[in-house]
Amino acid sequence: MKSDNIFEYLIENNITVATCESCTGGLLAAAFTDVPGISSVFLEGAVTYTNEAKERLGVKCETLEEFGAVSRQTAREMAQCIKERAKSDIGISTTGVAGPEPSEGKPVGLVYTAIASKNKTHVFELNLSGSRREIREETVKAVLRHLKNISETEKFHE
């Protein structure tokens, strides 16, 4: 990767991005929109906090019923659905339990993120600790690290 900064890399290579967030509630989109010039590649961000909102995006009801909102499967579908809806090169999702209480029988700090590109969807499981805010902030940092790592080995578009 030419640039150490993932945002600069996306802009320099005209790689478009869309985000779909649950537990981070817009923090990931905010990380993108804090960057001057990102409007050339950041197409849209959706906060799909409820299962109904996830379904409106395109996540299958069966996925939510079988695996829950906080699952690898849901994160994968969220990233793929936002990528398709936005017609972007990359779709990124976050879904998890930020606390303070467990949800769906899943512990606080369990987060799934996904990055969907042209040929592959990468799903990551995070097991974080800290306050609600810390879990949300650490999730965003982890997503950006994963995006940078993937960008070093994968062509996002041709």
CATH of the domain at 34: 3.90.950.20
Q: What is the mean pLDDT of residues 118-127?
A: 96
Residue 138 near residue 117, CB atoms below 8 Å: no
pTM of the model: 0.95
Domain for residue 1, yes or no?
no
Domain for residue 156, yes or no?
no
Q: What is the mean pLDDT of residues 29-53?
A: 97
**What residues make up the domain containing 104?**
6-151
- Phi, psi (rounded to 5 degrees) for 60: -70, 135
When computed from its CA atoms, the radius of gyration of the chain, rounded to whole angstroms, is: 15
How far is Cα 45 from Cα 43, in angstroms, rounded to an integer? 7
- With 80 as the cut, is the pLDDT of residue 122 above it? yes
Q: Which two tokens stand for residue 4?
A: 């150490």
Number of compact structural domains in the chain: 1
